[in-house]
């Protein structure tokens, strides 16, 4: 919801789009750093208290975001939200690892990432379309209210979050030993590197799509929402199917394919496309994400016994990549947004070609 609002928020707070856009990496960097602690704590104390606590923090801080009076305040509260809310995704991923064997994990992971993609699709479109009618303050209040509804609805099902705490005492030595074990194998290293590279690419491009549509095509908020309509739809519709394909045939071909599709789509956006073609390439960009990040997460769930720590490192890497991508792309804006798109697109295509060899062993497990 936030990234497409950057042009509007820059106008409201009378700052540059680069400064308004800083609230995106502020949230993402804080989110990524915190996941390391949430994963470790969940291995020690169990998933349930941390998932519920993190969801409650998200609700409260999102509500408070609506009272920000400047771009600096907005960025600061978003940073706090990143710190508080970052237990939800990695622990949900770890929970799927607890409940399903590796060879059956693709489909439930597909549902989870499909839900995330659906949220991105709804947020990116409705956010910019509703802002003129309910203001940006109202958007954050509504999201906080919806979060509260989810928390209440989840309470009767809390017993399903059955992971039992290990009871083992955490020490610095054990923590570093766990991270060293995750990164000692070539499988672990290549997976985390690609999580990072893929996140840098997708966040860089998606964060600035609203600015791109505004500058290059002169689109207003509602038109930007319509242009972004396809982002998240493939994952929402096809997530479980992609997950099932990964379970059946492995990830060796799907991951490179996703990178090449996404990179080609970003590069194509740098061309002088007819305006009606924009949602098509935005949808293909989203499909590229759905063919990569959920499948990489599936590999991470199979890297070691301390699944919370493994997923914490995964989401840390993912969100540090998200924050870095947004920041790197913004630094390239003076060179021209088309140049940035071509650079990011070429980078993803190259990573996809290299991935053909690196992930060749990720066939049916």
Question: Considering the chain, what is the average pLDDT of its residues?
Answer: 87
Alpha helices in 155-220 (DSSP H): 172-184, 186-207, 209-217
Give the CATH number of the domain where residue 184 resides: 1.20.1250.20
Q: Tell me the three state secondary structure of residue 167.
A: coil
- Residues 6 or more apart whose Cβ sits within 8 Å of residue 215: 337
**Cα angle vertex 40, ends 34, 41, to 5°?**
90
Query: Could you list the residue range(s) of the whole structural domain that residue 215 is in?
Result: 3-358
pLDDT of residue 59: 97
Taking 70 as the threshold, does the pLDDT of residue 248 lie above it? yes
Among 159-168, 188-197, 232-241, top mean pLDDT goes to: 188-197
**Cα angle vertex 212, ends 206, 214, to 5°?**
125
Name residue, tokens 């003076």. Answer: 334
Mean pLDDT, rounded, for 106-116: 82
pLDDT of residue 168: 56
Whether residue 364 is contained in a domain is answered as no
Confidence band, pLDDT 50/70/90 cuts, at residue 83: very high
Q: The tokens of 347 are what?
A: 């980078």
Task: Please write the tens of the pLDDT for every residue from 338-349.
Answer: 999 999 999 999
Cα gap 64→261, rounded to integer Å: 39
Cα gap 332→339, rounded to integer Å: 8
- Asked if residues 91 and 51 have their Cβ atoms less than 8 Å apart, the reply is yes
Whether residue 8 is contained in a domain is answered as yes
Q: What is each CA distance from 35 to 128, 196, 260, in whole angstroms? A: 29, 15, 29
Closest to 247 (Cα-Cα) out of 97, 101, 93: 101
- Residues 6 or more apart whose Cβ sits within 8 Å of residue 137: 66, 67
pLDDT of residue 62: 96
Mean pLDDT, rounded, for 66-82: 94
Backbone Cα Rg of the chain: 20
Name residue, tokens 């989840």. Answer: 154
pLDDT of residue 273: 87
Mean pLDDT, rounded, for 102-111: 82
Q: How many structural domains does the chain have? A: 1
Q: The tokens of 295 are what?
A: 């499948």
Mean pLDDT, rounded, for 55-84: 94
Q: Tell me the three state secondary structure of residue 284.
A: helix
Least confident of 28-42, 170-184, 267-281: 170-184
- Asked if residues 218 and 342 have their Cβ atoms less than 8 Å apart, the reply is no
Q: The tokens of 293 are what?
A: 């990040």
Whether residue 265 is contained in a domain is answered as yes
Whether residue 363 is contained in a domain is answered as no
pLDDT of residue 257: 96
Confidence band, pLDDT 50/70/90 cuts, at residue 95: confident
Cα gap 333→216, rounded to integer Å: 13
What percentage of residues in the chain have a pLDDT greater than 70?
96
Mean pLDDT, rounded, for 167-175: 65
Task: Please write the tens of the pLDDT for every residue from 310-332.
Answer: 877 888 898 889 889 988 998 99
Whether residue 365 is contained in a domain is answered as no
**CA atoms in the 13 A half-sphere facing the CB of 130:** 17
What percentage of residues in the chain have a pLDDT greater than 90?
39
Least confident of 53-62, 131-140, 160-169, 252-261: 160-169
Mean pLDDT, rounded, for 207-229: 83
């Amino acid at each position: 919801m936030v990234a497409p609002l950057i042009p509007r928020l820059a106008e409201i707070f009378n700052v540059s789009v680069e400064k308004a856009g800083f609230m995106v990496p502020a949230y993402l960097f804080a989110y990524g750093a915190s996941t390391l602690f949430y994963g470790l704590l969940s291995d020690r104390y169990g998933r349930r208290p941390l998932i519920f606590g993190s969801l409650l923090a998200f609700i409260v801080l999102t509500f408070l975001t609506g009272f920000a009076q400047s771009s600096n305040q907005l960025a600061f509260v978003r940073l706090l939200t990143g710190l508080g809310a970052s237990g939800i995704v990695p622990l949900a991923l770890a929970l799927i690892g607890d409940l399903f064997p590796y060879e059956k994990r693709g489909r439930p992971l597909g549902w989870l990432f499909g839900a995330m993609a659906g949220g991105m699709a709804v947020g990116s479109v409705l956010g910019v379309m509703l802002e003129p009618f309910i203001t940006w303050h109202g958007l954050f209040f509504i999201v906080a209210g919806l979060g509260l509804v989810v928390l209440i609805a989840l309470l009767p099902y809390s017993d399903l979050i059955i992971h039992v705490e290990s009871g083992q005492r955490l020490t610095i030595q054990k923590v570093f030993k766990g991270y060293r074990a995750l990164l000692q194998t070539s499988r672990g290293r290549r997976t985390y590197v690609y999580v990072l590279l893929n996140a840098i690419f997708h966040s860089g491009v998606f964060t600035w799509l609203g600015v791109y549509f505004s500058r290059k095509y002169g689109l207003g908020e509602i038109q930007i929402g319509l242009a972004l309509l396809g982002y998240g739809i493939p994952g929402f519709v096809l997530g479980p199917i992609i997950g099932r394909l990964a379970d059946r045939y492995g990830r060796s071909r799907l991951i490179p394919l996703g990178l090449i599709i996404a990179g080609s789509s970003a590069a194509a956006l740098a061309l002088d496309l007819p305006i009606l073609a924009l949602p098509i390439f935005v949808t293909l960009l989203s499909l590229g994400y759905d063919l990569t990040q959920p499948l990489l997460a599936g590999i991470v769930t199979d890297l070691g016994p301390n699944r919370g720590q493994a997923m914490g490192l995964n989401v840390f890497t993912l969100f540090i990549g998200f924050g870095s991508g947004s920041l790197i792309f913004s630094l390239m804006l003076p060179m021209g947004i088309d140049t940035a798109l071509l650079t990011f697109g070429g980078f993803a295509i190259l990573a996809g070609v290299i991935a053909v060899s690196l992930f060749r062993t990720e066939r049916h497990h």
